[in-house]
Amino acid sequence: MKVHLQTVSRRSQVSRAGDHDGGPAASADGGGGARITGGRGAAATRVSVAPMMDKSDRDFRYLARLFSPHTLLYTEMVSPRAVLYGDRDVLLGFEQVERPLALQLGGDDADELKAATRIAADYGYDEINLNIGCPSDRVQEGRFGACLMARPRHVADLVAEMRSVTNLPVTVKHRIGIDGLEQYQDLVRFVETVVPSGPAKLTVHARIAILKGLSPKENRSVPPLRYHDVYRLKREFPKEFIELNGGVGTIAAVHTHLAEVDAVMIGRAAYDTPKLLAEVEREVFDSAFVAPTRGEIVERMLAYIERRQAAGRPPHTVFRHMLGLFACLPGSRSWKRALSGGIAKDVDVKAVLHRALAGVPREVLDQRVASKG
């Protein structure tokens, strides 16, 4: 342990330029790095990590980035009204290392979405995504999310309005259907109505959402996955950039879907087993990236948590994303127990991590999260 919290291997190449807090960038269309000049830009990345409330926050995204520099990451869904009236730096701030990064907005008011899009572009996001897939009651009360699949013309208007204020790719995440609009042809009608407004990508969750009777959680497992509908959509709309989402949990599945569609979005599996992202990095992006060891990941996270703690953020909000780091490996249980205990705001992060690693064998710490194929 002495070694692991003191020496960060630079070989892992997890440190990238501009590794600092993001605020409004200079340019209105993705400043603070490579300028997106319209077209699909980062939105065309072959693999992404899904927007997930309470999970895909900036702390998780920092961790995910250590496993894969190239995967496109999404924020949690953010309400445009919150962007307009809330604490913008808390809602939209991020570190440059998280890029390529897409902001997901959930709303149905064109003026609010436009204003939020403008503000988000100033923060340096690479893509703005509109959520047409969420089935929660709260979201339905606001008449946005998946229920907007019944109003494709309105969705097209929203996309056009958002595009009118930014050069960033504006994209849509939706389902293959909702109750009453469950057939493949209903999906086609939605897509052919929305496409003329120019979304740079359609991310299609390959399940219908049942708005009456199922919880959001059930809506992510009960309706059957219909991958062939998404494959067929790509065949029938060959010019559109189509990303498949839902139930993708292995690198083999990623390859299978990429043979049929343009991109794959991974949600729960990326959160529960981020090592999958290191496999994606190696096999899909084919980059020179050398996957870090788990010890190196802990070291990087230590530095990150201390930085966030200095900015007033309690460490346990980051620890919670790290609980699965040693899943199925020796020492996992003591790691989790020690991390779960470190909830005080001023806790000594290094001491907690030392304690948490005490039961993890050296060879586990030294193992790379994905070996070279």
Binding site for ligand FMN (CB under 6 A): 50-55, 76-77, 104, 131, 133-134, 173, 205, 220, 245-248, 266-269
Q: Buried b / exposed e across 1-10, counting CB within 10 Å, b at 16+?
A: beebbeebee
- Residue pair 170/126 in contact by the 8 Å Cβ criterion: no
Which parts of the chain fold into alpha helices (H)? 58-67, 80-85, 88-92, 110-123, 137-141, 152-163, 184-194, 227-236, 251-258, 268-272, 275-283, 294-310, 316-322, 332-341, 349-357, 362-366
Nearest one of 53, 54, 50, 77 to 64, comparing CA atoms: 50
Two structure tokens written together for 284:
């899909």
Catalytic residue among 78, 91, 134, 206: 134
User: 235 CB contacts (<8 Å, ≥6 apart)?
Assistant: none
Question: 188: exposed, middle or buried (C-beta count within 10 Å: 0-12, 13-18, 19+)?
Answer: middle
Q: Which is nearer to ligand FMN, 268 or 313 (CB)?
A: 268
Shortest Å, Cβ 269 to ligand FMN = 6
Is residue 147 part of the annotated active site? The answer reads no
- Provide the Cα torsion 297, 301, 302, 305; round to 10°: -170
Catalytic residue positions, numbered: 134
